[in-house]
Chains A and B, each alone.
Chain A
């Protein structure tokens, strides 16, 4: 089974702190994604990566950056956390070359910024 893990289930940070959210997948997937989930808005794509050191902006990249130094790990960085970044963050991965486009999700990190 594909396993996607996220470093924390719950995180509380203060305004202005630098925050790192880590995601690791164990199935050698090329593609990895970071989403933000808010009530009534569904999942919105922040960034995605289709290869090591490659990244693409999603629909809401402002205030976020990402890092992918190894194939299995994709990090989301909040350079200076703000209260409007309080949300559930979901990481996903999928392989290239399989035309089903199914994504596999981690359990999520619920981030609260105070």
Chain B
């Protein structure tokens, strides 16, 4: 079965510092990969997605992610974090059984001023 691992439960970075959130997946074919963000008390918003082409994908809010097939990774990066980026971030892979996504456990990002 497909799976997603987000090794870091919590990450704290200083405002203005760079950020990298890790995501490793297990998938038998070429995956569709996603990063979602959840602000406190809100639903999930799509940051970016990868399904083919350039392995470096750009998303909203200044985020980017790089697909590395050899490492089964899809890490999320941002060069300079803002206080408003404090949220929980979820990596997801699919499709599973034609229709579903499998989500990681999430990484909570705290931003200190």
Q: Is the CB of B45 within 8 A of A105?
A: yes
Q: Is the CB of B100 within 8 A of A42?
A: no
B17 part of interface (Cβ distance < 8 Å): no
Given contact pairs A40-B9, A58-B100, A101 touches B43 in the complex (Cβ within 8 A)? no
Q: Which residue on chain A has the smallest CB distance to residue B36?
A: A105
Q: Which residue on chain A has the smallest CB distance to residue B32?
A: A101
B101 part of interface (Cβ distance < 8 Å): yes
Which residues of chain B come closer than 8 Å to A40, judged between CB atoms? 9, 105-106
Given contact pairs A40-B9, A41-B105, A48-B100, A102 touches B49 in the complex (Cβ within 8 A)? yes
Q: Is the CB of B104 within 8 A of A42?
A: yes
Q: Is the CB of B105 within 8 A of A31?
A: no
Q: Which residue on chain A has the smallest CB distance to residue B42?
A: A107
CB contact between B99 and one of A35, A48, A100, A105 (< 8 Å): that residue: A48
CB contact between A106 and one of B4, B43, B51, B100 (< 8 Å): that residue: B43
Q: Is the CB of B94 within 8 A of A101?
A: yes
Which residues of chain B come closer than 8 Å to A44, judged between CB atoms? 103
Decide if the interface of chain B is mainly helix, strand, loop or mixed: strand
Q: Which residue on chain A has the smallest CB distance to residue B6?
A: A42
A76 part of interface (Cβ distance < 8 Å): no
CB distance from A56 to the nearest CB of B (A): 8
A103 part of interface (Cβ distance < 8 Å): yes
Which residues of chain A come closer than 8 Å to B6, judged between CB atoms? 42
Which residues of chain A come closer than 8 Å to B4, judged between CB atoms? 42
| Chain A residues within CB distance 8 Å of chain B | 4, 9, 31, 33, 35, 40-45, 48, 50, 58, 90, 92, 99-108, 110
- In the assembled complex, 7 residue pairs joining A and B whose CB atoms fall closer than 8 Å, in A order, are A42-B90, A42-B103, A45-B100, A101-B32, A101-B51, A104-B46, A107-B41
| Chain B residues within CB distance 8 Å of chain A | 4, 6, 9, 32, 34, 36, 41-46, 49, 51, 90, 94-95, 99-101, 103-106
